[in-house]
């Protein structure tokens, strides 16, 4: 469960780090939004280093949690409720993440 929680926090850091520049560029937000965005992306990169497994496997498994976190963001921040196919796609990516992250490994 700690791994999934760390993935979730990592995903939030990445989403925030990308969302703030989007607000600046697309919604006429202040350029000052780039300061917390840069901090958030640096935090994202650092959080990825906290995972104990091989980086390629971590990035692949993290992707599943990222997709689901982005769908929650869609609902919570953008005010758009995910549809049935969003939920199905999120469930499929989480299943793939579980196989990659928690599947048996050869010693």
Q: Do the domain assignments include residue 59?
A: yes
Q: Is residue 52 part of a domain?
A: yes
**Does any domain span residue 107?**
no
pLDDT in tens, the chain (107 residues): 687 788 889 999 999 999 999 999 999 999 999 999 999 999 999 998 887 766 777 788 888 889 999 999 999 999 999 999 999 999 999 999 888 878 888 86
Q: Give the tokens for residue 105.
A: 């490994």
Residues 94/65, Cβ–Cβ less than 8 Å = yes
* Residue-wise DSSP of 31-92: GGGHHHHHHHHHHHHHHHTT--S-HHHHHHHHHHHHHHHHHHHHHHTT-----HHHHHHHHH
Tell me if 17 is assigned to some domain: yes
Q: Which two tokens stand for residue 75?
A: 């609902």
d(CA 20, CA 84): 28
Distance CA 68, CA 27 (A): 24
Q: What Å distances lie between residue 39 and 1, 17, 32, CA to CA?
A: 26, 7, 12
pLDDT score of 23: 94
In a domain, 9, yes or no: yes
The tally of domains found in the chain comes to 1
**Boundaries of domain holding 53:** 2-102
pLDDT (0 to 100) of residue 42: 97
pLDDT at 61: 81
């Amino acid at each position: 469960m700690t791994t999934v929680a760390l993935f979730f926090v990592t995903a939030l850091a990445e989403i925030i780090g990308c969302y703030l520049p989007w607000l600046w560029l697309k919604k006429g937000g202040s350029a000052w939004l780039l300061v917390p965005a840069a901090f958030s992306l640096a935090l994202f990169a650092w959080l990825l280093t906290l995972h104990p497994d091989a980086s390629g496997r971590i990035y692949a498994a993290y992707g599943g949690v990222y997709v689901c976190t982005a769908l929650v963001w869609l609902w919570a921040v953008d005010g758009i409720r995910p549809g049935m196919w969003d939920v199905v796609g999120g469930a499929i990516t989480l299943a793939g993440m579980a196989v990659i992250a928690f599947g048996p490994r050869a010693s």
